[in-house]
Amino acid sequence: VKQHRPAVLAPPGSAAGSDSAAAGLPVVALVGRPNVGKSTFLARASGRFAETANHPGTTVALERRRIDTAAGAAWLVDLPGARSLRDEPAGADPLWQLLLEVRPDAILVIVDAGDLGRHLPLVLECRDLGLPVVVAANLADEASARGIEIDAPRLAQLLVAPVHPTCGRSGDGVGAPLRAAVALAGRRADVRAGRRSVRATVPAAVYPFAVEQRVAQLVRDGAAAPRSLGAASADRFRPYVLAGVLSPRGAATLQLAAELAPERRRIAAGWARQVERRRDAPVPLADRLSGIVTSPLPGLPIFAALTVAAFLAVVAVGGWLAATMSAAWAAVVSPALAAGVPAIVPQPQLASALLWALDGGLLAMLSVGIPYVLTFYLLIAALEDSGYLTGAAVLSDRLFGLLGLPGRAAIPLMLAAGCNVPAIYGTRVLATRRERLLASFLVTLVPCSARSAIVIAALAPFVGVGVALLAFVVVAGVTIGAGLAANALVPGRQPSYVLELAPLRLPLPRHVLAKAWWRFRAFVVTATPIMLLGSLVLGLVYETGAWQPLAAAIEPPVRWWLGLPAIAGVAVAFAFLRKELALQLLLAFSIAQFGTAGGDLGTLLSPSQLFVYAVVTSVSVPCIATLAALVSELGSRSAAAISGASIALALGAGGLLARLLGIA
């Protein structure tokens, strides 16, 4: 998930306002409806991976890339998908504001070549701003498969803008609209910099006479009183007009947006009929499958089967990878470290602490973090690319309705199974703060790949795969119960939305591997230093005996309430740094207490205790990275409330389970 935000528009000449100008490159903004393929287009254009997925809400903020074309170089800025310039795709500012704040010199609008009637109104909105517009009629291959061909030259005539058919997934035709956009942007940037004389381009009037008169009147009012643009409601457009980013006509059309919307829709429908050539074509298999996966039967059994298959795949593949890498580490690296570190560091306690970090920390990454996280990322990437997630949103809509959320909340919640952090940012697909608060709370309760790895690795080898599955059922029950309670407690009501279903596509191995690799790389880069440092600190705490006062302090409540030894409580507390630490620490404590036999967790904890430990670890306080995302998205008070609630839930569920299982 991209988190870069541009500098807020500042007056010309200021540092922030001249950001792009200082670089000397024109700016091309990438605009389009959700899931039309903007991010894929950006990746093709820049030749570098961009986070893409076959569902709405992949781009929740702005991504800027430098592109070099035959027409010159430029910045290409990917904006969040929106149905209209008035949409608030990032949950805060409307798209027109995000667009103008990047100070574009041209707008490249990506439309669905097979669905022009719904996509052209956005092109008309952009065209009305007074900026050069280029249209990429994307997904041309899918349109053709459905029997739809478009007359691009005719559409270009109607729009008075270049139109190029493209296919972002294969890269066909991507270069032409880019070159056109960069050329137009370059000319406009030259005019702004005084390198070229101004040549006014007035868009052809397309609206009914009365509407055009209203627009012209607002423009005249603005010309007569440029400080106010004629109306108080126009004040928010004024800085952009004064900065030369927005034309007075553009400001007037933004002001009249609600009135112009039906007109744009009518014009778009007429133009689409003019330029579309339809022929009979068989219904593609993907469309037939889409109908199947969203119907209760067999959609729900397919959903259940996919969930169980994903779980078993993670257990099998992750387990095999973990066993292979752990064995290799134990055979080759561990003996070398055990011999080498004490030779280099003579102080025994420091040497032991270093071994915690270098041997224990890295082994935990190899045996818990990497195998399960990588497998999870591959599965999630394949599901995202297939477009199945929006189908799952339809199936789960009623369940989410009980939790005060729309069906589209299924998308971030499913992403949370990979990692909670992008899922927290992904809640921006929801419209209200209440929904984002409720969804973020549930996201923190969804076991991420690290927590799933703990549950699987702690239970599957020692108690059995069935018990591990049961632990997930318990966590799901806790999550649903917490969601019902939160929906009842948080004031407000849930509005209704229309969700556009993504077409089903065969996942492209290249996309899936690239996405899984980039996320995995980010995970390794972030997690490894934390794991090393955390393990070092823990090693020092353990070797110096400093953990004993902490364990002694928490022993009564942990033992009495959860039926667990104190060191289990210490391990859960330190898992705040990184969830994987919960298991690594427990193993380390176990080995320290029982010697090599402690490598079998069964010697430290009974099966019932392992079950309680897995559930408490899975539900308890989010890790530091998730907490940071919560603070960033919802503020510190909401983040603290969510963290407090998850601790209370973990303790409540753990205490209840301990009593049911007879260990407390």
User: Per-residue x/- mask for other proteins, residues 266 to 285, rule CB under 8 A?
Assistant: ---x----------------
633 forms part of the interface with other proteins (CB under 8 A): no
Q: Crossing angle for the helix pair 116-128 and 152-159, nearest 10 degrees?
A: 40
Establish if 51 lies at the interface with other proteins (CB under 8 A): no
Confirm or reject binding of residue 320 to other proteins (CB under 8 A).
Answer: no
Applying CB under 8 A, does 393 fall inside the site for other proteins?
yes
299 binds other proteins (CB under 8 A): yes
> Of 208-216, 287-295, 327-335, 590-598, which part binds other proteins (CB under 8 A)?
287-295
Q: Is 300 in the site for other proteins (CB under 8 A)?
A: yes
Angle in degrees, CA 534, 528, 585, rounded to 5: 40
Tokens encoding 63: 């991504």
Asked if residue 165 binds other proteins (CB under 8 A), the reply is: no
Residue selected from 199, 227, 277, 398 as contacting other proteins according to rule CB under 8 A = 398
CA distance 221 to 215: 10
Least Cα distance to 307 among 149, 185, 469, 443 occurs for 469
Candidate residues 500, 561, 632, 652; the one interacting with other proteins per rule CB under 8 A: 500
Residue 412 touching other proteins (CB under 8 A): no
Q: Is 146 in the site for other proteins (CB under 8 A)?
A: yes
* Residue pointed to by tokens 């005249």: 220
Stretch that binds other proteins, among 203-211, 243-251, 395-403, 441-449 (CB under 8 A): 395-403
Asked if residues 167 and 140 have their Cβ atoms less than 8 Å apart, the reply is yes
Total of residues contacting other proteins (CB under 8 A): 38
Q: How far is CA 164 from CA 72, 110, 113, 177, 534, in A?
A: 19, 10, 10, 6, 53
Can you tell me the distance from the alpha carbon of 438 to that of 448, in angstroms, rounded to the nearest whole number? 17
Q: What are phi and psi of 128, to 5 degrees?
A: -70, -15
411 binds other proteins (CB under 8 A): no
Task: Count the Cβ atoms, other than its own, within 10 Å of residue 270.
Answer: 12
Angle at the Cα of 453 (from 447 to 454), degrees rounded to 5?
85
Q: Is 295 in the site for other proteins (CB under 8 A)?
A: yes
- Window 562-601: contact mask with other proteins (x via CB under 8 A): ----------------------------------------
Q: Which is nearer to other proteins, 18 or 84 (CB)?
A: 84
Contact 197, 213 (CB under 8 A): no
Report residue 245: phi and psi, to 5°: -85, -30
> Which string of x and - marks every residue 93-132 that binds other proteins (by CB under 8 A)?
-------------------x-xx-xx--------------
The residue from 47, 208, 262, 509 that contacts other proteins (CB under 8 A) is 262
Subset of residues 221 to 260 that bind other proteins, contact rule: CB under 8 A: 258
Type of residue numbered 364? A
Distance (Å, whole) CA 576 – CA 538: 13
Query: Considering Cα of 536, then 539, then 541, then 544, what sign does the dihedral take?
Result: negative
Residues that bind other proteins (CB under 8 A): 83-84, 87, 112, 114-115, 117-118, 143, 146, 148, 258, 261-262, 265, 269, 290-291, 294-296, 299-300, 390, 393-395, 397-398, 406-407, 496-501, 503
